[in-house]
Structure 1
């Protein structure tokens, strides 16, 4: 038995459960809106059967709401499908920008609950790492979770990444508390530190810019 791998496995299951539970809440919200509008449509139908003129403008508005929610549900399910497939391959080339977009989409509900404004700027040049897609998403979620829990008074968090020779740097700005943190153990706990180590990643803080910087090795050691 490998204690570190057992810890990473438990951490991954917790991450997967957190994300899927959040997604299920979003899908329930979609179904609630569809159900509400189905009730409105039924009311219009009953009124028309009793001789009242059918308000076609209302029918059009309700139909439009159905279409919006179907599109929303389709987007959510596609995101869940992509997330689920991150466990298919242990190591593969991963575009960090795309991984960030996936995690931000999965965390949409958490971002809204914290009432934070999130500004993600995709990089101009490819930011690619050879890594475990699922563990990388898990690590990005740890960083985002920390940023959401420690925003500045403006509650404005910026995210961007840049590619260097041997690593990709992901910066989370607008985190004044970062100036007080000097080691990833203080940031993540035992589980997050294990993921950092297995991916060969590191955390640094820049108090001058109120930012947390995640360094990702372009060729990480993976399980």
Structure 2
């Protein structure tokens, strides 16, 4: 037993030490020339039937037009369902959503108008709650309740998913891991760390901390399945600060 534990710990240390150097598994072969790779990606995009994963991608958006199309198209090549909860947008959010939906007829797109002003995440969150604004936990439970697939995935309008991670995520889902943690990197370099952005559509709920909502489960994942749920290396690029306000 002691040898098994030692061997397991060595594996963990090795992964932690070298995970930052793990290469992305590309959609196409990585050693092709630029033109060859472009042709292979075109073939991938134009295939008559895309192998889709049982994922409902959930967006909560207010005026997300700056990056929304890029974000939607980054997940539309693998998800079976995309849900957008529009929290009072005054820009082209709905138009962009419907344009992308028309480009992917085999994906279920669901648009929900929800004009409720919630407490804002951050250092003034408790003050907003005390002032009577509804909590974000309530908003998130409303939003994620619209997902119909076996897994739910949290996405923001300013998140760009790296499609090269699709194959790794598929393996995690095939193992029926309860939670998959994806690494978010800001476009200017800030490391947001690993977040539980993908999880099974059962036994989940949200509570409130002092600054934002927190995802919880009726049966928290055990250590080994929790560790196995990490997708090493960046999977999400955070674009929010790229466009100057």
Normalized per residue, the structure richer in strand is: 2
**Would the TM-score normalized by the shorter structure come out above 0.5?**
no
Higher relative contact order (CA 8 A, sep 6+): 2
Structure of higher CA gyration radius: 1
TM-score (norm 2): 0.27
More helix by share: 1
